[in-house]
Amino acid sequence: MMRPLIIAIVCLATTLSAQTTTEQIKSFYESGLRRNGIIGSSLIVIRNGKVILHDNYGRQSVTDPVDDNTTYHWASVTKTFTGIAIMQLRDRGLLSLDDPLTKYIPELAAVHDTYGPVSAITIREAMSHSSGFRDATWPWRDQDWQPFEPTQWSQIVAMLPYTDIKFQPGTRYSYSNLAVVFLGEIIERISGDQFEVYMEKNIFRPLGMDRSYYDRSPNHLLKYRSHSWDLKDGKLTEDPFDFNTGITRANGGLNAPLLDMLKYVRFLLGDPSHQSEYDAILKRSSLEEMWKPVLPVTPDEDFPSRAGAHDSVAESFFVHTDGNLTLIGHPGWQNGFRSQINIDPATRSAYIVDYNTDAEDEKQNTRSFNIELRDYLIDNFFKSRAATIEQ
């Protein structure tokens, strides 16, 4: 007769523990935002596919608070959507990941490749940042006078004769925004749709992401779009509002509210009750194929190392290994926004975060805090959750 009572006590203890952990996460997150001078941010934490913490903080503009309608810019998290679109075309028999880029973009023959024929560089290498192409879309991206981003494919083509391959393709990781532009161009040429139209038809609409879009806002959603700021040398400066990422939309053009991104992350996590719907978008086996490590990532300020942890690049995702824990995800950074998704498929747990302020000083630094938040969640959420599952 005591067994039901024991079970009830255990369940109550588990619930209280989960509530305490949730409050601790919220406290760590919000204190870090205040400490780093971040104007606005939103965080969702997911356990076993269910939201256990949804926290909106600060302001999306001078007058408007962040709320569930706030639309953030997701920067390079966009690349994961582009990779899924490539895998969709692969699964439909329209391309192979080992096809050369030049099969679909013959203009790339103008690129200088001292390591071999440029026709040997594959879609797979572009997806895993091992193609040898430079990082920046514009070679002079850091010059004050240059346009924010090239707006037309013809501008990229004009630069191809002045583009060279930096290393033997396939031999090492080196982040390349330019290579992902080529993936976006392939999606357009094979599908016959503009990139944004393809993504709407094949990912956003099937997932119910009806408030997600690329580049400038539709008029009816403009009021929800977050402004963004840079904080440097103690000075806060507002960045361009409602900007256009131009031809680089495939690597950094996505705008979406957190609740739309929650739908996307649930798709990544999988759900037995919805798996047939998810498989109609992309088979689970194809998603998991994208998460297999390809090459190690050398530790740097975006991927700092700590004891027992290391990062690898996969196909349009990154793999962060910390002891027995493996997180699949991607960071983003552009125009004052920083973003991050990380998922643990083994426990169907995850978190999603976006910040509308890029603090760049030593003591106030959004990049550093984003890493602190990841490591805090690894130590206090993911690893404890994994231990519970193992028991």
From CA 212, how far away is CA 349, in angstroms rounded? 23
Average pLDDT for 96-105:
98
* Length of the chain (residues): 391
pLDDT of 141 reads 63
The two counts, helices (H) then strands (E), for the chain are 13, 14
Range of the domain at 153: 35-390
For 264-302, the pLDDT digits (tens) are 999 999 999 999 999 999 999 999 999 999 999 999 888
From CA 164, how far away is CA 96, in angstroms rounded? 24
Residue 12 has pLDDT above 70, yes or no: no
pLDDT of 16 reads 36
Residues with Cβ within 8 Å of 304's Cβ and at least 6 positions away in sequence, in order, are 371
The band of 146, judged by pLDDT with boundaries at 50, 70 and 90, is: low
259 part of a folded domain: yes
pTM of the model: 0.93
Average pLDDT for 209-238:
97
131 part of a folded domain: yes
Domain total of the chain: 1
Average pLDDT for 185-193:
98
14 part of a folded domain: no
Contact between 337 and 358 (Cβ < 8 Å):
yes
Query: Measuring CA to CA, which residue among 49, 81, 84 is closest to residue 266?
Result: 49
Query: Measuring CA to CA, which residue among 295, 277, 269 is closest to residue 350?
Result: 269
From CA 210, how far away is CA 287, in angstroms rounded? 22
24 part of a folded domain: no
Positions of E strands within the chain: 40-47, 50-58, 71-73, 213-214, 229-232, 235-238, 254-257, 295-296, 309-313, 318-322, 325-334, 337-344, 349-355, 357-359
Average pLDDT for 313-336:
97
Query: Measuring CA to CA, which residue among 270, 264, 375 is closest to residue 320?
Result: 375
Q: Is 113 helix (H, G, I), strand (E, B) or coil?
A: coil
Task: Check which CATH number belongs to the domain holding 187 and give it.
Answer: 3.40.710.10
pLDDT of 376 reads 97
DSSP 286-344: HHHHHTS--EEPPP-SSS---TTEEEEE-SSSEEEEETTEEEEEEEEEETTEEEEEEEE
Residue 27 has pLDDT above 80, yes or no: yes
pLDDT of 13 reads 35
List the alpha helices (DSSP H) in 39-98.
78-91
153 part of a folded domain: yes
Mean pLDDT for the chain overall? 92
